[in-house]
Structure formats: C-alpha cells, structure tokens
Structure 1
C-alpha cells in the first residue's frame, strides 16, 4: 500500500521534472512540494512531534520509490532523517519539540554537517571549534560536502569543544540558517545528484544559545557515528531505487528494440544480463530491508548490517546502471534516455556517508557473532 502510494506520487509529480532538474542543476522544488503535501518529506519523525511515525522500513520504502524516478529528490526524505537523527538519539525533549516539529510539518529541512576539507573519512580529525561563552557557544569553522546546504533551515553541526580529547572532545549543536555568521559556498559542480545542492557551510563567530547542544558535551562524535549506523540504510534504499529504475527502463527497452528481425529481449545474452541485474537487486533489497528492521529495533549488530547494506546495495546499483546503459547501446550513452543519469547518480551512493572502502573497515571491526 505505502509503496504503491509513493510510486504513484513519484511517477505523477516527480518523474516529469527529473531530467530537467538534472540538466539545469536546480533544486527539485516540485518534489519537495509534492512530498510535503503528502506528508512524505520526513516520515520517520515520531507522532509526538507531529510526524507520521513511520518505522525504518517504511522510511526505506519512501526513499526507494522516490529514487526510482529521481535520486536528487530522494535526498529530501533521506537527508531530513540524517539531519534529525542526532536529535532523536540524543537531544533534550525541548530541543526535539523545537526542531523536529517544523520538519514534520514540512516547514523546514534539516542537514548534517560532519565532513570538513581536511576531515572526510577521518571525521574525528575535524577542526571546527565551539568555545563556551557564558550561556552561549561560539562556533567557527568550515563544513564541506553538505547536502541540501542553503535550502535547509536547520543544521546538525559537529564541532570540537575540547581539542585534547580527539573524538571525545567533539560535541553536536543545532545551527539555524538565519544565525548571524552562517553562510554558504557556491554549489559544487557534481557528476550526479545535480538537483541536490552540495555546498560548504561557513561558521564565522556563530553565537548560539547553550541549550542548542545536542546531548552532553563531548558526546557529539558518538552521536554522529550512531546516526550513520541508522542512515546508511537510507543510502542503501536510495541505491535500490536508482537500480530499480534502471532495470525497469532497460527491461522495457529490450522488449521494444528490434534487431535481426526480433526484439533483442529474445536473445539469450540479453536475458542473462537482465537475470543478473535482477538477482543483484533482490539480494541488495533483502539485505537492506534486514538492516532497516535492525535499525528499527536498535539491534546490537546494526553497525555491521547498516554498513553492509549501504556497501552492497551501492555496488549493485553501480553495476546494474552500467548494464542498463549497455543494454540500450548508443542510446544509453545519451542524455535523451534516463539510464545515463541513473548511472551518474548511482556513483555517489558508493561514496557518501562513508566510502565503500570505509564500510568494509567498519564491517571487519563489527563482524556478526
């Protein structure tokens, strides 16, 4: 039921703009409007904060179905979860009510600020600083690769509060777009997900009330890592959607494309390619849904499964989209057909929220018992 509802909305109100959004590199406002009107922009937020209260699997289904037609648009519900998850895990009740509610209402979006120019995979090496000044914290630094920066109203920002403690000296804060001293760099010129703005966030003596700290001082890095355990599952969902869209398009194309007097779908070599694509996709889906269930329960082995789902699904999406282009031949290599966009979009799922090389390190350190 949920899948059918989201698919119908995505095909009617998001898909028609997907190519234009990619070509122009503009934010998919039509998608935000459609998702917000249907209360699908942040389905994970609990009912007590006026959210839909969807579980982790339902959230995966929403992201997957939006990504099937437009990966850039799927980053609206995905990044809303990424930005708000630290609050759901660690924030005070007052902070939750203050910031989760407007996101649940569709009045604001939330982004996540962890990476920096010199702190990517080594997030604990960040340089952004937060210094206590009475009842305030003053933040300075630069955050890089921030998805939906400049569009989101709110930002979860990780900053060093005690430089002598490395990861245990990092704290998390809520920063508002309107806070004095907050500014943004130019949008990055990216290979894919061109409709989702990626910018640097500049913090220049940003003075915020002390009650905007998420959790206790020094717990920010632990909160950031726990957040990623949950949200890597949403990147796996995005990868599933991209791969499904590519497979669907390629399957329909080979049934219509005729060579040597018959549809190319009749050739065994093409059938084998489609079979392998579908097999990889279903294996990735099973692992992703299992990880979503573990996310919802808060299972102890979520770290492994979240990393495994993200890694496997994104690798599968890359392979499936490449094969989809191959099945379309020269047409697949042009922007007149969507599989070219899907391949470019799939690539980022192997990189963000931790590269797949990092995911393998995470998995090796957290092997199931």
Structure 2
C-alpha cells in the first residue's frame, strides 16, 4: 500500500525547473524594459511559443494534470519572474477557460488554437465580462445579445471594461445578456471572430502595475456573429433559459405576496451560481500572487544578508529577521491552500467553504504584504526603480482588486459557511 505523500512527481518537478529557467533567463531580464514601455512584450511571447510554453498544447498539458497542481506551479514560477509579462502570457488562458466552460468539443477545436496563433505569429485572446457598471455584480451586465432568426446571427451591443488583451485579441469571448429579466441565468457567451466589424478596443489603460499586460475597454456596436458562435449552441441555451424561467416562477410562487423576498432570492441564487463558476479559476490567480510574494521575499532576504548597518548585516536584527520569517511562513501556508483548492477543483470536489475564494483572498493580501515589507527592508533603495521590489509592489495591489475584490471573496466565503445570503 502506497503511503500518503505531499512530494511533487518527477514531471511536476521538471515542469517547475523548466518554467523557472524561462522566468529567470528570459522574463526577468526583460521585465523592467516592458514595464517602462507599457507595451505587450511580443518578443517574449514569441520566445515562449517557440519553446512550447505558450500555446494550446502546453495549456492542455497543464490542465490535464489530475492533481490540479501543474497549472499553479507554472503560474507561480512565471509570475516569480515578472507579473506584467506573466499576465501577457497567461491572459489568453482566460478566454480559453471561457470557451472550455461553455463551448462544445467542436467549438473548442475551432477557436482555442486561434486564441494562440502559432510560434511564428503568436496571437492572444480576450475574455470580456466586466462592464463600467458591472464589475463584481456579474448579474447586472448591460451588454445585450439578440437573435436574428432570418440570418441565423446574433447581434451584440454594449461596452466591456478592464479587459485583458481587449481590442488586440485575435478572438474575443463576450458574455452578454440574452434575457435580462433572468439576471445571471439569462446570460450567454459568444465568440467574436477575428476581424468582425463593429468590435473596437479603446486606448490601452495606463495602470499602476502589470504594465506589460494590455488592458482596455471593448466596444461592441451592433456586432453580428454567426449562430454557431454562441458557445454551447442555441438548443442548449433555450433549454437553460426555459429551466430558469420555471425556477424563478416557482420561487415567486413560494414567496407568495412578498415580492421583495422573491427578488432577493432570485438575485442571491443567480449571483451564487455565477460566483461558483469563477470559484474554480481563483486558485490560479492565487498562484500568480504567490509568485509575486515569493519573488519579493527572496530579493529582500538576499539584500538583508549583504546590506550592513551599524557594523553588521541588517538581517541579524530581529525586526528584519522576524518580518522575513512571517512572510516565509505565510508563503508556505498559502501555497498549501492554493494546491488544496486546485486539487478540489480538478477532481470535482465541492467548495463547501469557498476554498477557491479563500486561496485567492489570502494570496492576494500576502502579495501586498510581502512586497510592502520588501520595500521597507530595502529602505530608500526599495523606493527606487534600481531594485525590482518597487515594480513588484505596484504589481501586487491588483490582486486584492481584480477577479473579485478581497471584500467580495470574504462575502463569498461568508455565504458559503453560513448558508445565508449575506449582503
């Protein structure tokens, strides 16, 4: 009988070493330049595609690990190299995840390769959900899609906000409302193929961090896409909408004359369903934040060992050593939380306590704490651009904001553990 073990497999160790080598030798030397330029690092993306790190095949292998750990190992190492370039490389996986979640096998085969392009001409994909008035509240989307039966086309109109690779993507995956009265249950996802008229990206947003990753608004002006671009197909959508109508009618009937209670039930359950979809992807975001935290910790540890003050290395002062000890402890704890949630998601185990949100929450806040302590340990040097902890500090903050703010993560966790619709 094989004993229980937390040791990585040989394949996982080789993956970690391979991605770490790319992050050390290719990503880190280029990080400051692309952060300063605030442009998509196409040469780095092309290099990653050339060695097989960027592309459908590599992503499929990462997802294929039955333990769920390979994707998180790769993310931690790549974002250890640099978060901006890391997001430029992994941003396309958001679009792939959207296609995988809702698409048919035929749609996966058709569209996922187009998200990546090839090693000679790499492309990127974009997943378009957030809107100016609908960030954390995914049930409030205003982007609409209507079906033109005569032409078998879907017509999409609206605006998406803060979209990674928005406007420069080869393939845009757009979530739109088909029946607004159903809230989140009345939404569907659509492929907008390359060169489709009516889709336009706004100017690249100037950001505090992740500057090498392209972020922009996306405008959809009566965008027409063929019927087969509805992910999952129309028959599946019609069945889902019919069930949603029946369920809401039943909820309203049970609520009786209390219309306010009925609305609260509909809103709460719709949001819970939407959050459950995001829950599975949150450990990956957590792994990215963990990579930033680890990079800042390692740099501060090395600096504190050689920087002298009052005749000795500053690491010999308890104030410095204890701060580093606290961060290292948190890194080890958060990694185990991420790996546990990843294993659960990969193996279909229910997140009964919102473990996916737990991993993202703790990792995001650790990234902010670790980079802030690194800047403090370096002192004035840490506040300058001569040292990478300044960039890491800027990059870290977004991890308490995007993919669900820390406050939203706590809300999801609170609802999960109490069984109540906490507001």
* Aligned equivalent of 1:324: 374
Deviation at 1:81, TM superposition (A): 2.4
Matching of residue 130 in structure 1 with residue 142 in structure 2? no
* Aligned equivalent of 2:94: 82
SS at match of 1:111: strand
Q: What does the per-residue CA deviation read over 1:123-171, in whole Å, with 9 as the maximum and x for residues that have no partner?
A: 1111101110121100000000101223321122111111221222111
* Aligned equivalent of 2:6: none
Q: Pick the aligned partner of 2:339 from 286, 289, 292.
A: 289
Q: TM-score, normalised by structure 2?
A: 0.82
Structure 2: give runs of 5+ residues left out of the alignment.
1-13, 242-269
Q: Pick the aligned partner of 1:176 from 180, 193, 200.
A: 193
Matching of residue 152 in structure 1 with residue 169 in structure 2? yes
Q: TM-score, normalised by structure 1?
A: 0.93
* Aligned equivalent of 1:261: 311
Kept after mapping to 1: 8 A contact 2:52/2:58? no
Matching of residue 191 in structure 1 with residue 208 in structure 2? yes
When residues 64 and 277 of structure 1 are mapped into structure 2, their CA distance, relative to the original with a 3 A threshold, is same
Distance in 2 of aligned mates of 1:228 and 1:170: 15
Matching of residue 231 in structure 1 with residue 243 in structure 2? no
Kept after mapping to 2: 8 A contact 1:13/1:30? no
Q: Pick the aligned partner of 2:327 from 272, 277, 281.
A: 277
Matching of residue 19 in structure 1 with residue 32 in structure 2? yes
Deviation at 1:237, TM superposition (A): 0.7
Kept after mapping to 2: 8 A contact 1:68/1:244? yes
Q: Pick the aligned partner of 1:307 from 332, 350, 357.
A: 357
* Aligned equivalent of 2:125: 110
When residues 149 and 28 of structure 1 are mapped into structure 2, their CA distance, relative to the original with a 3 A threshold, is same
Kept after mapping to 1: 8 A contact 2:375/2:389? yes
Distance in 2 of aligned mates of 1:236 and 1:103: 23
Give the number of equivalent residue pairs: 366
Q: What does the per-residue CA deviation read over 1:198-222, in whole Å, with 9 as the maximum and x for residues that have no partner?
A: 1000101110011111123276989
Compare CA radii of gyration and give the structure with the larger one.
2
When residues 15 and 225 of structure 1 are mapped into structure 2, their CA distance, relative to the original with a 3 A threshold, is same
Matching of residue 46 in structure 1 with residue 60 in structure 2? yes
When residues 31 and 298 of structure 1 are mapped into structure 2, their CA distance, relative to the original with a 3 A threshold, is farther
Distance in 2 of aligned mates of 1:172 and 1:226: 16
